[in-house]
A and B are shown apart, each in its own frame.
Chain A
Amino acid sequence: DTAVSQTPKYLVTQMGNDKSIKCEQNLGHDTMYWYKQDSKKFLKIMFSYNNKELIINETVPNRFSPKSPDKAHLNLHINSLELGDSAVYFCASSQGVRGPSGYTFGSGTRLTVV
């Protein structure tokens, strides 16, 4: 069983389109995250949800909107996609915001905007 699963794994789309990435965790964790990895492999937090409540919202364009229907799911919707949105997006989860055991990451969604 995959602990943190993201779909799709690959996403190729045209500029201006709207797309969503889904994330689900079966670890019973209460906190979930979205991280963005750029072309230089640098990883940066985008959003964090604890028990379905948004607790971290970094400086991210408002074209990006996370949604957490329950604590096992955190989806990412992106409007009006731009070339610069091309990156790998990782979902992660932890128990509590301090995540004493570290975070468990999904395998990533590689988004390519053409």
Chain B
Amino acid sequence: AQSVTQLDSHVSVSEGTPVLLRCNYSSSYSPSLFWYVQHPNKGLQLLLKYTSAATLVKGINGFEAEFKKSETSFHLTKPSAHMSDAAEYFCVVANYGGSQGNLIFGKGTKLSVKP
């Protein structure tokens, strides 16, 4: 069965410092992994996706994630946090079975950015 575990429910950083949001996955086949962001009272926006091409994936707004099969991890990073990065971040794995497919979400990590 497919699943993702986000290791931190809340991460707080200062503006201008690096961001690290951790995600481990479990998959019975080569996974497709995503990071989505949800700003307060807004919808979900796709940040980046991994679909078995390059292991280092670059996304929007300076975010990137590295797929590490040996560690079953897909951590999200950004070199320098901005105030506008404050939001809820979801690590997601695709679940495919026969003619069906859907996304399985982690429980989310709330990122706070201090001035």
Interface residues of A (CB under 8 A from B): 31, 33, 40-45, 48, 50, 55-56, 90, 92, 96-108
A-B contact count (CB 8 A): 61
B46 touches A102 (CB 8 A): yes
Count of B interface residues, CB-CB < 8 Å = 24
Known: A45-B103, A100-B51. 8 other contacts (CB 8 A): A31-B101, A42-B108, A96-B101, A97-B102, A102-B34, A104-B46, A105-B43, A106-B43
B88 touches A45 (CB 8 A): no
- Smallest CB separation, A6 vs chain B (Å): 9
B99 touches A102 (CB 8 A): no
Can you list the 7 inter-chain pairs with the closest CB atoms, starting with the nearest?
A97-B101, A107-B43, A105-B44, A43-B105, A45-B102, A102-B46, A41-B108
Interface residues of B (CB under 8 A from A): 32, 34, 36, 38, 42-46, 49, 51, 88, 90, 94, 96, 99-105, 107-108
Instruction: State the CA gap A48–B98 with chains docked (Å).
Output: 14
Q: B100 is contacted by which of A42, A43, A97, A108 (Cβ under 8 Å)?
A: A97
- Smallest CB separation, B38 vs chain A (Å): 8
30 residue pairs of the A-B complex, CB under 8 angstroms, read: A40-B107, A41-B88, A42-B107, A42-B108, A44-B105, A45-B103, A45-B104, A48-B102, A50-B99, A55-B100, A56-B102, A90-B43, A96-B101, A97-B96, A97-B100, A97-B101, A98-B32, A98-B96, A99-B101, A100-B32, A100-B51, A101-B49, A102-B46, A102-B49, A102-B103, A103-B46, A103-B103, A104-B46, A105-B36, A105-B44
Q: Which residues of B contact A90 (CB under 8 A)?
A: 43-44
Instruction: State the CA gap A97–B100 with chains docked (Å).
Output: 6
- Smallest CB separation, B111 vs chain A (Å): 13
- Smallest CB separation, A86 vs chain B (Å): 15
Nearest-CB residue, chain B, relative to A9: B41
Instruction: State the CA gap A41–B10 with chains docked (Å).
Output: 13
